[in-house]
Chain A
Amino acid sequence: MAGSIQDTFFEECEELLEAMDEGLTAIEGGDHDSEVVNAVFRAVHSIKGGAGAFGLDELVAFAHKFETVFDEVRANRLGLDTKLIQLLLRSSDHLSDLVSVARDGGSTDEAHHDVLISALEEYIEEEEEELVFQPMGLGGAFEASPIEAEKERTYNIRFHPLKDMYGTGNEPYFLFQTLADLGTLEVQLDDSELPGFDSVDTDESYLTWKLTLTSTESKSAVEAVFEFVEGLCELSIESDSDAEDEANALAALDAAFGVMPEEGGDQVAAPFEPPVSAAEPVAEPAVAETAPAATKAAAPKAEAAKSGPNPTLRVDLERVDRLINAVGELIINHSMLAQQIANLDVADLRDVETELEGFKNLARDIQEGVMSIRAQPVKPLFQRMARIVREASAATGKTAKLVTEGEATEVDKTVIERLSDPLTHILRNAVDHGIEQPEDREAAGKGRAGEIRLTASHRSGSVCIEIKDDGAGVNRPRVKQIAIDKGLIPPNAELSDSEIDNLLFLPGFSTAKEISNLSGRGVGMDVVKNAVTALGGRINISSTPGKGSTFTIILPLTLAVMDGMVVSVADQTMVVPITSIVETMRGSDDMVNNLGADGTLLSIRGNFVPVCDVGAALGLETSGHDQPPGVYLLVETETGQRSALAVDDIHDQRQVVIKSLDGVCGNIPGVAAATILGDGKIAMILDPESILAASPSAAAFDTERRMNNAIAS
């Protein structure tokens, strides 16, 4: 149970950190509205509160410092200048690191931690009391009791509630009940102060109780019972134990309760001094003062609540996926039905077809609706990226600002999750290699601060994510030279500008002369490209020297449905993802060149591309192996290499619902998933990448292909 609560705590932390980031970004942008400041404060506060419950001390301590500084801001005692805002931003980054460490283990940069702590402390006034983070009063009392539990004592308690106590919901009866749990209790009511019936003031308190408790509990435990009514009653507790004992208990009490408020000062003394009648009305003006003010403040907030966020529902992802699956079935079911009806020998099908059309539209509506449940705005992802740019700027000594657009654009949850790494990489690269040093920028007539624009938008059934920097652009002569040096392209290759730019995506390419501590982490842009293609997307770069570069990532809206080309291979129907097909062509004899025993090359406009017979690669009986069938699908794999897949025929291009084969049968090389076609037959969705990997024919030409492809891409 505790574990799952802790899980929700970390989940909640994510949301709180997002809210905090959002608020801080708004503050950075000049919005110092008290609601924004409050929201950030609450987020930090809640993180601290939850962390305290799980004993995450480091997190608590840092959050506390952060919160304290922010409290000063909230109270308008501290102005938000650039320096402070930067500190708060860095602190929020660090807080998010501490949360990660608390959740996943590991450690944070201690030096950085200390720097931030002392920077924050500069803003904290010195008299700030040390944070005592332990359950107050009661905990202490409970801990103390076992030690003193041996001895049974008698406590003589005199308890006279002041009339204010009755306004706080404290009931003498319940207090006595609690006392009775500690030992044997005798209760005696003293109503001698009760006036005659005609002069009773119903608001006044006239009753006094004398209680005799015999208990093994310590005095502090007995006093703890009256914790809530301190200052609201006249109370004296005398025990028969020795003076030293009492002193100890008092010390414990003091430590546990801290110092009492000033306006209650007289009353605090009450338990240990003779009753002071003047003590009682002191609290009253304070109530009168605070109440209207708070009510006024509450009113606009209440209005704000009405226009607040829409109510939301948290649902297990698995349930949504089940629904998505069912809708997929529904769509398949529709196309089966349509096919069956078309096959019927009925003269007039018009009515049925109209209804069927309605069925189809409804099914599509449901599908879209369900898909939109999985869809999430890219905003949290984009917010995290602001931090990446901040960190990258700090590490490189450059000034770069991230501007985001289209944050409300919704993308499939899985896509968002898997986009984080590629985006991080591209942004680090943009700061590290794209944006110039401030001096260089000035010399080039640009502002000192670089700008990176991160945009998301929907574009005809797909999502487009654009990362545009206003840096120096791709240094083409250097990129080309590096590619030649690394043997990625032949020295005499003639490449267009765009071809040169796209060399960045080749495996083994890295433009950094030395691995910088930032973007160079042994990963190149090829990894980015792989990640994007794995999501069924494409990535492109365009660049203008001196003006900057733009990376464009095009992604499918969902991973549950995809566009596929329906082909037949060895009498089997199969689907090839459209995204991996560059071109389709009907081959003629003069295009095919046999090479050795099992190698075939296809000549396409002067380039040679290895041919892979899909049927053979999958181990299917092909009818005429000697003469490869006439249709070729030119595919580009994740590494940018091109090959031709030989299939028997192309039938159709359509949307198919992806059905995972996991758990149905093991991993089949060459097959990514399955789908159900309109005729009810199951068709395998091919994975060109692994078909090629498994094909001896393709592997034989590795070097040659790479060179060819570098030119072709």
Chain B
Amino acid sequence: MKTKVLAIDDSRTIRNLLAAALEEAGFEYHCAVDGREGVDMYPDVAPDVVITDINMPNLDGFGVIEELRGDDINSKVPILVLTTESAPELKARARNAGATGWITKPFDDASLIFALKRVTGAAA
């Protein structure tokens, strides 16, 4: 069974890049255009891993992590944060909220898949 990824990003370009990389690598790709939609879609998609942008309208990435982690059932689902800069305080904040790891934009496909593999054990 394919590993299901829910990607939350308000940039269409990033969503397209993610879709291309993930589908190529054999993941099942779902996407949401902002944090609110991502959280709303979550129960239906029931992803194996979530990738979320930080800076988004209608609920930012931190909010996404907090809301998802707020529900005990989701405490184990890996959440990867997509950040533009590798600012340490951003990462720390994301982790404190319960993020599993991070991917830096612009990402290369290999590191994206590598990161996903580390948190889901998915065969890439």
Contact = CB atoms under 8 A, between A and B. Distances in A.
Interface of A: 1-2, 5, 8-9, 11-12, 38-39, 41-42, 45-46, 48-50, 52-55, 131-133, 135-139, 142, 166-171, 173-175, 177-178, 181, 224-225, 227-228, 231-232, 257-261, 263-264, 283, 286-287, 290-291, 294-295, 297-298, 301-302, 304-305, 308
The 4 tightest CB contacts between A and B, nearest first, are A228-B101, A261-B92, A50-B13, A174-B121
Given A138-B115, A142-B111, A305-B58, A167 B101 contact: no
B53 to A, nearest CB: 8
Given A49-B106, A53-B106, A228-B118, A39 B57 contact: yes
A12 B111 contact: no
Interface of B: 10-14, 16-17, 20, 34, 36, 55-59, 62-63, 66-67, 69-70, 75-79, 84-86, 88-89, 91-93, 95-102, 104-108, 110-111, 114-115, 117-121
Given A142-B110, A174-B121, 10 more contacts: A9-B12, A11-B12, A53-B13, A135-B106, A170-B101, A228-B100, A232-B95, A261-B89, A286-B96, A304-B58
B99 A168 contact: yes
Contacts of A45: 55, 84
A264 B89 CA distance: 10
B78 A170 contact: yes
Contacts of B97: 287, 290-291, 294
B39 to A, nearest CB: 9
Contact of A49 (B78, B93, B105, B120): B105
Given A178-B117, A227-B101, A41 B11 contact: no
A49 B85 CA distance: 9
B33 to A, nearest CB: 10
A564 B82 CA distance: 58
B72 to A, nearest CB: 11
Nearest to B75: A167
Given A1-B20, A264-B92, A12 B11 contact: yes
A249 B76 CA distance: 32
B92 to A, nearest CB: 3
A175 B118 contact: yes
Contacts of A264: 92, 95
B111 A135 contact: yes
Given A228-B118, A287-B97, A135 B13 contact: no
Contacts of B59: 298, 301-302, 305
Contact of A5 (B17, B67, B89, B108): B17
Contacts of A287: 96-98
A305 B36 contact: yes
A231 B62 CA distance: 19
A228 B119 CA distance: 9
A15 to B, nearest CB: 8
B119 A174 contact: yes
A305 B34 contact: yes
A479 B110 CA distance: 68
Contacts of B70: 295
B14 to A, nearest CB: 6
A174 B117 contact: yes
20 contacts: A1-B20, A12-B12, A49-B13, A53-B17, A54-B106, A168-B79, A169-B79, A170-B100, A170-B101, A170-B119, A171-B76, A175-B118, A177-B117, A178-B117, A257-B86, A283-B95, A295-B67, A301-B63, A305-B58, A308-B58
A12 B13 contact: yes
Contacts of B120: 174
A304 B85 CA distance: 28
Contacts of A168: 79, 95, 98-100
Contacts of A50: 11, 13-14
B81 to A, nearest CB: 10
Nearest to B24: A1
A135 B104 contact: yes
Contact of A259 (B58, B88, B106): B88
Contacts of B96: 283, 286-287, 290
Nearest to A260: B88
B47 to A, nearest CB: 12
B76 to A, nearest CB: 6
Nearest to B58: A305
A341 to B, nearest CB: 51
A578 to B, nearest CB: 43
Residue of B34, B59, B110, B120 contacting most chain A CB atoms (<10 Å): B59
A330 to B, nearest CB: 35
A136 B86 CA distance: 7
Contacts of A302: 36, 58-59
A167 B106 contact: no
A170 B75 CA distance: 10
A5 B100 contact: no
A52 B111 contact: no
B121 A173 contact: yes
Residue of A38, A49, A181 contacting most chain B CB atoms (<10 Å): A49
A136 B84 CA distance: 10
A12 B14 CA distance: 10
Given A228-B101, A291-B66, A169 B14 contact: no
Contacts of A12: 11-13
Contacts of A294: 62-63, 66, 97
A496 B114 CA distance: 78
Given A228-B101, A308-B58, A167 B115 contact: no
A517 B63 CA distance: 52
Contacts of A53: 13-14, 17, 105-107
B55 A169 contact: no
Contacts of A170: 78, 100-101, 119
Contacts of B36: 301-302, 305
B16 A5 contact: yes
B108 A135 contact: yes
B62 A169 contact: no
B55 A42 contact: yes
